[in-house]
Amino acid sequence: MKLYVKAAVFTLVVPGGFGGLVPALLVRGREAASGARLVLAVCLMAIGAAIYLRCVWDFAVFGKGTPAPIDAPKRLVIRGLYRYSRNPMYVGLITLIAGWAIMFGSMVLVWCALLLFVFFSLFVRLYEEPHLQRQFGDEYEAYKTQVGRWLPRRTRR
């Protein structure tokens, strides 16, 4: 199966489920925000989706893989948004869910985003980082010293 098709299928099932279907089901029947809150929510959702899609693109084009752990990139992806965060894909998904939460004033979605962040944190620390260390060795070690796990590091002047 072509790499882009596999990436699209994974995106529809996993992030599409957690970032689209689950929030839609949880806010079903609620009225969406209006005015500035709606604009903020839509902006966050668009930013979150754009972050995720850019990362999938870099995984496929540069890394020759997909976001699925069973078909992970063959090369360490350190370009695009990965120059600023080691986990921008997760940041994008959390941002998308935050947009849903603001759009519908849903504390349930705030809690979902927080729980998802805890899950991502554990997954990254317990599985992803040790796996990447074994797979890419010194290249990954150097990358970790330069790029923050979640947010960009401040540079000294």
* Helices marked H in 72-106: 88-104
Q: How confident is the model at residue 153 (pLDDT cuts 50, 70, 90)?
A: confident
* pTM summary value: 0.91
Q: How confident is the model at residue 156 (pLDDT cuts 50, 70, 90)?
A: low
89, 94, 95, 100: CA torsion to nearest 10: 130
pLDDT (average), residues 96-108 = 97
- What CA–CA distance (Å, rounded) separates 39 from 44? 9
What per-residue confidence (pLDDT) applies to 105? Answer: 96
